[in-house]
Amino acid sequence: MTLMTSIGLMSGTSMDGVDVALIRSDGESIVERGPSLEVEYDPDTRCKIEQGLVDAQLIGEDRDSRPGKLDGLEDLITGLHADAVARFLVLNNLHPGDIDLIGFHGQTVLHRPHIGLTVQLGNGRELAEATGIPVVYDMRANDMRTGGQGAPLVPIYHRALSQTLPRELHLDWPVAFVNIGGISNITYVPFDGELFAFDTGPGNALIDQWVQSAAGIPMDQGGKIASEGEINKTVLDRYLASPYFAQELPKSLDRNDFKVPAPAEMELSDGARTLARLTAKSIFLACVHLPAAPQLWVICGGGRKNKVIMDDLKQLAIAQSSQVMSAEDVGFDGGAMEAEAFAYLAIRASKNMPITFPRTTGCRRPVSGGILVRPT
């Protein structure tokens, strides 16, 4: 099958910037991973996105409405993604004509699967005009129209990557790919059989919100603050009592579904330590919804850089005789993986191939998705 060259763009619930990644693929088993780039948002942009999360609460049944300052924010998001593509092309000596597609995720500001509503800011048509490259965007909506949660979308790419694991790990099935972004999600990949996927719980978002509210610090870089604290069991148990963890599949989360503790509840480092443990513990709680416990856990996303979260995950894995490895440990790029996935999904969508499945999002049947637009 003919290979296509595709750029994926991802701006996740951590709101830290735009990830850009290039792959060549047939949309099935062949994946050739190319270069990637991270473009950070400046503090002003992050503040505007945070306000956008508030404004988005006013969206009613019309998911195309843009109350408050969402119109301006959408223009900003689109422009920043276009700038990121332009920078990526220059850095890698590429031209728009070298690229077949862009897979554009946009910035999620609202996700309410129980009412079939999800909103990602980003104008695909304007991005196509700005870059001169065909764009596939709005990839979640069709899944929700067929009864799905609209998330997670990455599992089919995880399936493709699992076929390229190092030979010495090929006996370690089933494999779990865990992305720790603002929210954490898991893809369960058996050697043979159906994919399972869902959001496991908080990722980095609660930790970021905690250190911001308690100390005006945007994030706990590398888990340094958490490493100096102790777990507050009362707070941890309160979070773990959330009915979300026992909720049957399919299920997915909005960034705001778990609320940050009040600053008076804990000292700064204790709060960061407690929330890091929550992230790790909720990932392993996912095992109750899986056909079997994973033997290998591959960790990607920004959370893989938090040493406290990673140490907790490794400790929990020992208890069930499995192992935890970062994406880099198995030859992948944990920071670029989601952007790569949207490049891959764009290829599949352009060929009308399924991108979501009943056991990954709850859709009634495997469905394709996205809107393909070409520059004029």
The predicted-structure confidence for 129-168, as pLDDT tens digits, reads as follows 999 999 999 999 999 999 999 999 999 999 999 988 888 8
pLDDT at 256: 85
Say if 18 falls within a structural domain.
yes
Mean pLDDT score, 260-273: 96
pLDDT at 363: 96
pLDDT at 325 over 80: yes
Check whether residue 227 and residue 103 sit in a common domain.
Answer: no
The per-residue pLDDT of the chain, averaged, comes to 95
Summarize pLDDT for 73-82 with one digit per residue, the tens: 999 999 999 9
In the chain, count H helices and then E strands: 11, 12
Number of domains comprising the chain = 2
Say if 157 falls within a structural domain.
no
Say if 355 falls within a structural domain.
no
Check whether residue 303 and residue 171 sit in a common domain.
Answer: yes
> Does residue 152 have a cis bond before it (omega within 30 degrees)?
yes
Mean pLDDT score, 288-306: 95
Mean pLDDT score, 349-359: 97
Element (H, E) at 299: strand 296-300
The band of 1, judged by pLDDT with boundaries at 50, 70 and 90, is: low
Domain extent, residue 45, equals 4-140+369-373
Which CATH number goes with the domain that contains 214? 3.30.420.40
Mean pLDDT score, 357-371: 96
pLDDT at 76: 98
Mean pLDDT score, 37-51: 95
Say if 150 falls within a structural domain.
no
Check whether residue 178 and residue 287 sit in a common domain.
Answer: yes
**How many whole angstroms separate alpha carbon 341 and alpha carbon 9?**
9
Secondary structure of residue 373 in the 3-state scheme: strand
Check whether residue 287 and residue 200 sit in a common domain.
Answer: yes
Check whether residue 230 and residue 126 sit in a common domain.
Answer: no
Say if 63 falls within a structural domain.
yes
pLDDT at 208: 95
Query: What are the angstrom distances between the C-alpha of 367 and each of 31, 122, 141, 360, 363?
Result: 21, 22, 11, 11, 8
User: CB atoms < 10 A from the CB of 307, how many?
Assistant: 14
28: tokens are: 């099935």
Secondary structure of residue 148 in the 3-state scheme: coil
Query: 156-172 as b/e, with b when 16 or more CB fall inside 10 Å?
Result: bbbbbbbeebeeebeeb
Check whether residue 112 and residue 208 sit in a common domain.
Answer: no
Q: Which of 165, 162, 164, 155 is nearest to 196 (CA)?
A: 155
Secondary structure of residue 165 in the 3-state scheme: coil
Say if 206 falls within a structural domain.
yes
Check whether residue 24 and residue 118 sit in a common domain.
Answer: yes
Mean pLDDT score, 101-106: 98
Check whether residue 180 and residue 309 sit in a common domain.
Answer: yes
**How many whole angstroms separate alpha carbon 324 and alpha carbon 314?**
5
Q: Which of 336, 343, 346 is nearest to 19 (CA)?
A: 336
Summarize pLDDT for 279-289 with one digit per residue, the tens: 999 999 999 99
Work out whether strand 296-300 and strand 183-189 pair parallel, antiparallel, or are unpaired: unpaired
Q: How many residues are given for the chain?
A: 376
212: tokens are: 């911001």
**How many whole angstroms separate alpha carbon 135 and alpha carbon 81?**
12
DSSP state of 187: E
